[in-house]
Every structure is written in structure tokens, then in C-alpha cells.
Amino acid sequence: IAYRDIMNNPYKSEEVPELVAWRIAMNFGSQAQNPFLTTLDNVKKVALNTDGLGQSVLLKGYGNEGHDSGHPDYGDIGQRLGGADDMNTMMEEGSKYGARFGVHVNASEMYPEAKAFSEDMVRRNSAGGLSYGWNWLDQGVGIDGIYDLASGSRVSRFADLSKEVGDNMDFIYLDVWGNLTSSGSEDSWETRKMSKMINDNGWRMTTEWGSGNEYDSTFQHWAADLTYGGYTSKGENSEVMRFLRNHQKDSWVGDYPQYGGAANAPLLGGYNMKDFEGWQGRNDYAAYIKN
């Protein structure tokens, strides 16, 4: 208990206890399945069904042509979704219903169509060839993370996003950070630099992997989405850490006994995400409300 007086408190972690209803609003492949104003309508519907419980809405595919398109052009708000005007309307009006919004970004790989794509920023392997990343839409190319940081390119791209969303956005979801497959240098030092850059824009830090960025992240997707990813990445399972930070983050191994070990936790457990806006094909609103 005394340690809490000197420990790091992740930026905006005081919000976490109020954010009961996490979910993902998905847009993909130029289809604009969930335009910003549709997401706003869903916020209102959830607020009505839950008597105003706090909502945290992750916009996967807010930019360019949707999810995993145009990385890392952070300020390229999707026009098919309604553009920056509708995005800000969604966030401003949604906040009146207890909703906070964040966006999915990638700082580990980039796509050739992105304006930010740079020959100087590509990561190469030991043989001099390109270090490739994800390739389900276009072939992602790894980012040289140190160059991205030192050149000012990354901070400039976040500034572009900040110009579009002002003070309306609550958090950044940093995808794949820490798996070392793309940038190759995502150690604790660079992770702290990344967190500070995001926090300096007024945004809370969230990320993907269960063990990613314990110091600053307030949400780990693989910890809260129990059927997504493997059992080895389900979150943080330290009883000491949970005693200290249970109120600060949604990052703990949930109650999912079939995984065994720390996942057999019927009393504490953790959130088990049930979305209805397309992520993983999920579209059952009643199941979301029941959950």
C-alpha cells in the first residue's frame, strides 16, 4: 500500500474504473461498415440499455480505407466514414453519453500507399533486404523505429492527428508494439519514449499484447478479448501487480478456465470483450449487452 505513494500512475488511469463497456467499431477494405455517425448511434443505444455505463470505443479502421490501410498516416481520417467533421461530432456528442474514443495506429510497419512511406525509414534485415510485416491487404514493410523516433517523423504524424481531433480523443491503441517483428527495437527505452509522445498529446496509452508496456498502458487487447490470440498472451498475472494496479488498467488475465493457470479466476477474472460492430465477425448486440 505504501508503494502506491511512489509508483508510476499511467496517464488517465483514473478513468479506467468508469469504463465498463469496452468494444471495437470495425471498418475494413473500403466498405465503411461503421461510419462515425453510426458509431455515435450505437453509443446512444448502449447508454440507453445500460443506464449510462461508461463506454470505451476503439475505432479500428478510422483512417484511409479502413483497418490496416495507409499506415502510418495518422492524420488521414477516412472520408468514407464521414471524415474529420463526423469523427469530431461522434466524439463530442458521444462524450455526453459517457463514451470515450480512441484509434488503432501502427508504428511498427508501413504500407507503400502511405504518404509517410519513406525509403529512409524502412527497416532492413542483415542481408540488406526489406524486413516485411503484415500482408493481408498490401505488403507491410517494417519501420526503423529508432530513425522514426530520432528524425521527428513520428511526432509529426501524431501532430497531424492532433490537428484533426483536437481535445476530443481519449486514447491511442498502439498495435503490435513490442513483438520485434517489424521495427526490431521496441525495448523499454523506446516504449517509454512512445508513451510520453502519446501522453503529451493528451491521449491515454493502450496496446495489444498482454505483457506490452506494463508501465504506461491502461488496456491490453489480448488480455480482455479472451478468444483472440493464444493462451500465453492473455495478460498480466502477477498478484502483486494486480494488488497495486487493479484500479488502473484492464490488463489482467480473465476468468477462462480452459486456459488453466491464472486464467482460472472466478472471483477476480477480467473483462471478456463481446463486440457487435464487426470485429472478429461479431455482430450480436444482445450478447454484448448481456455480457
User: Which pLDDT tens digit goes with each residue over 48-97?
Assistant: 999 999 999 999 999 999 999 999 999 999 999 999 999 999 999 999 99
Distance spanning both ends of the chain, measured CA to CA: 32
Q: Does residue 182 have a pLDDT over 70? A: no
90/39 Cα distance (integer angstroms): 7
Whether the Cβ atoms of residue 206 and residue 217 lie closer than 8 Å to each other: yes
Give Rg (Cα) of the chain. 18
Bridge-based pairing state of the strands 54-60 and 19-26:
parallel
**Enzyme catalytic residues:** 175, 208
Please report the pLDDT score of residue 231 as a whole number.
76
**Domain limits of the chain?**
2-290
Whether the bond between 35 and the residue before it is cis, its omega within 30 degrees of 0, is: no
In the chain, % of residues over pLDDT 90: 73
pTM across the whole model: 0.95
Judged by phi (left if over 0) then psi (alpha if -120 to 50, else beta), residue 3 lies in alpha
Q: Cβ neighbours of residue 47 under 8 Å, at least 6 residues apart?
A: 53, 55, 97, 98, 99
DSSP readout, 15-32? GGGGEEEEEEEE--TT--
Please report the pLDDT score of residue 291 as a whole number.
86
57/100 Cα distance (integer angstroms): 6
User: Which pLDDT tens digit goes with each residue over 233-282?
Assistant: 788 888 888 899 999 999 988 888 888 877 888 888 778 899 999 999 99
Least confident of 95-99, 152-156, 206-210: 206-210
Which CATH entry fits the domain spanning 2-290: 3.40.1160.10, 3.20.20.80, 3.40.640.10, 3.40.50.360? 3.20.20.80
